[in-house]
């Protein structure tokens, strides 16, 4: 069930991101955020949240003995796609097959 929710989230978020990039461009998404203090606040909040997730991913990857670098790079370039893909491909020792 969790995997289905991750896939649905990834697909819907990917579609939303595609529309936003199509209409505004990659750079345009960030330009919009700097047009008001409210936009800057949302951007800073997103950065804080993603840094916390990156710390968790780093520690989790060490425990599971997997490479976290591809997901860190995706997170730095494309935001939430990195953590979503990490969770989608994550296998815990108990359910690894």
Residue 94 lies in a domain: no
Residue 41 lies in a domain: yes
**What is the total count of domains within the chain?**
1
Residue 96 lies in a domain: no
Q: Could you report the per-residue pLDDT of 43-54, keeping only the tens digit for each?
A: 999 999 999 999
Domain extent, residue 78, equals: 2-89
Q: In this model, does residue 97 exceed pLDDT 70?
A: no
Residue 95 lies in a domain: no
Residue 7 lies in a domain: yes
CB 86, CB 9: distance < 8 Å:
no
On the 0-12 / 13-18 / 19+ scale of CB atoms within 10 A, 60 is: middle
Global pTM value: 0.87
Residue 97 lies in a domain: no
Residue 68 lies in a domain: yes
Residue 39 lies in a domain: yes
Q: Could you report the per-residue pLDDT of 20-72, keeping only the tens digit for each?
A: 999 999 899 889 889 999 999 999 999 999 999 999 999 999 999 999 999 99
């Amino acid at each position: 069930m969790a995997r289905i929710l991750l896939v649905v989230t990834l697909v819907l978020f990917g579609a939303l991101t595609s529309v936003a990039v199509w209409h505004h461009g990659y750079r345009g998404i960030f330009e919009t955020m700097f047009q008001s203090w409210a936009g800057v606040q949302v951007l800073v909040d997103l950065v804080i949240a993603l840094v916390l997730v990156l710390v968790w991913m780093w520690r989790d990857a060490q425990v599971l003995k997997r490479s976290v670098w591809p997901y860190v790079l995706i997170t730095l370039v494309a935001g939430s796609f990195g953590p979503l893909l990490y969770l989608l491909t994550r296998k815990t020792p108990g359910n690894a097959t």
